[in-house]
Structure 1
Amino acid sequence: MSELEELIKRIEELRLNMIKKKEGRSYTDPEIVAASRELDVVLDKYQEMLMKRRMKMRIEE
C-alpha cells in the first residue's frame, strides 16, 4: 500500500472515529476538539503530499 493510500485510510478511520465520539456531545467537547485536531494533522499531510506530487509532475513535463 502506498503512503498516499495509507493516509487516505487513516483519514477515513479518524473521520469515522470523530463521528462516533460526536454523538451526544458538543463540537467544543475537549475529546471532539482533540479528535478534530488529529484529523487536521493527517489531512494537512495528505494535502502536502498531493501538492508535492503535482509539482513533481509539472517539473517532469
Structure 2
Amino acid sequence: MDQLKQLLIQIEQLRQQLNDLHQNKNFTDPEVIIASQMLDAVLNEYYRLMQIKSKNDPS
C-alpha cells in the first residue's frame, strides 16, 4: 500500500479517536489536545506529500 493511502487510513482512525474523546471530554482536556495535535501532524504530512506528488506529476 502506498504512503498516501496509509496516511488516509491513519487520518480516518485519528479523526474517529478524536471524535470519541470529544464525546466524553471537552476541547481543553490534555488527551483531546494531544489527539488533535497527532491528527494535525498526519494531515500536514499528507498535504506535504500531495504537494510533492503534484509537482512531480503535472497532469
User: What's the TM-score bracket when you normalise by the shorter of the two chains?
Assistant: over 0.9
TM-score by length of structure 1 reads 0.90
4+ long deviations beyond 2 Å: none
CA RMSD between the two structures: 1.1
Unaligned runs of 5+ in 2: none
Structure number, greater radius of gyration: 1
Number of aligned positions between the proteins: 59
Q: Distance in 2 between matches of 1:57 and 1:25?
A: 43
What is the TM-score of this pair, normalised by structure 2? 0.93
Runs of 5+ unmatched residues, structure 1: none
Identity rate, percent:
31
